[in-house]
Amino acid sequence: MSRARIIRIATRSSPMALAQAEQVAALLGELGVDSELVKVTTAGDRWMGDLSKLGGKGAFVKEIDHALLVDDADLAVHCLKDIPGDIPVPEGLKFAGYLPRDDVHDAVITADGAPLAEQPAGTVVGTSSVRRRAQLLLHYPHLTVKPLRGNVNTRLARLEEGHIDVLIAAVSGLHRVDQAHRITETLDLDTMCPPIGAGIITLECRADDAELLELGARLDHSETHRQADAERAMLHALQGHCNSPIAGYASTEATGRLTLHGKVFNEDGTQWLDSHQWGVPEDPQALGFFVGADLLRQGARAIIDAIPH
């Protein structure tokens, strides 16, 4: 790496995204590499309506990818869960590495401090995640789920202002913005299966940038990389859209064997499919495609296609 080169890190401008980018900047600093942040406000940040009107989760990454492609930035820092799995990474770009995975659980924050099971009928839970909505309606049908967009700080403010009674947020995200002390309870993975790529920060750069690909490889966490490959292969096999309640997570057993648990829900959680399989760590994508194929065999295509998008 040229000592004269300052790596321009493209990031969303939300508090959580900036915390993630600063984490990457600190890691680069430990390798003796200087960097600066390039703040990008994406369409997903500007739009407070239904994400499907903007083409789904890709609304959070398109402008950042464009900054790389036109050489306004050198390195992008993404939450892997925000990167669509049904379309490839734009031509000319490449994932450079994955940081060690954070907690994949979802947390509950309630206004009254009581857990979800003790909330009275009609309690309003704020979330715009179709994945969370389906699982909330499945396990807590007495609750009322209403759309709530915005970054985690904005959503916490809506809870404090009394617009909602309960907020669901990622444990890892709450830690990144120093709000973990607000957690009322942490949901187990059977109750709230996480999104594909939960807790994973990925680095992306131009495919011809050999220096950054080498740096990314030095920062890459091999276990997380394998889990990401398995999960995204499953997501690609399912070819879901932004309104598809698809969930799943890979993990590594003590023996080194890779396991992948995938789920597909309909909108209100009254129908759901489940697949849990194991594979060798040397071929995580094969495991992902196998789980995706198993869910399709069970009828996932009909459930996914029945949801408007």
Per-residue pLDDT reduced to its tens digit, 218-268? 999 999 999 999 999 999 999 987 788 999 999 999 999 999 999 999 999
CA distance 133 to 126: 9
Q: Is 106 a catalytic residue?
A: no
> For 264-291, what is each residue's pLDDT tens digit?
999 999 999 999 999 999 999 999 999 9
How far lies 105's CA from each of 136, 146, 174, 215, in Å?
Answer: 14, 21, 11, 29
CA distance 89 to 62: 10
7-99+198-220 placed in CATH 3.40.190.10: yes
- pLDDT, position 54: 46
Comparing 290 with 49, which gets the higher pLDDT? 290
Q: Using 50, 70 and 90 to split pLDDT, how confident is the model at 48? A: very low
- pLDDT, position 249: 98
- pLDDT, position 309: 72
- pLDDT, position 47: 45
CA max distance for the chain = 61
Instruction: Name the active-site residue from 65, 82, 106, 294.
Output: 82
Q: Using 50, 70 and 90 to split pLDDT, how confident is the model at 59? A: low
Beta-carbon contacts of residue 161 (< 8 Å; ≥ 6 apart): none
Lowest mean pLDDT among 2-6, 164-168, 279-283: 2-6
106-186 and 7-99+198-220 share a CATH fold = yes
As its CATH architecture, domain 234-302 has 2-Layer Sandwich (3.30)
- pLDDT, position 80: 93
Say whether pLDDT at 60 is over 70. no
The answer to whether 91 and 228 are in contact (CB under 8 A) is no
- pLDDT, position 3: 55
Q: Is 88 exposed, middle or buried (0-12, 13-18, 19+ CB in 10 A)?
A: exposed
Q: Which of 254, 234, 230 is nearest to 98 (CA)?
A: 230
Domain boundaries, the chain: 7-99+198-220, 106-186, 234-302
Q: Using 50, 70 and 90 to split pLDDT, how confident is the model at 13? A: confident
CA contacts within 13 A on the Cβ side of 214: 7
- Structural class in CATH, domain 106-186: alpha beta
Q: What is the mean pLDDT of the chain?
A: 91
User: Average pLDDT, stretch 36-42?
Assistant: 87
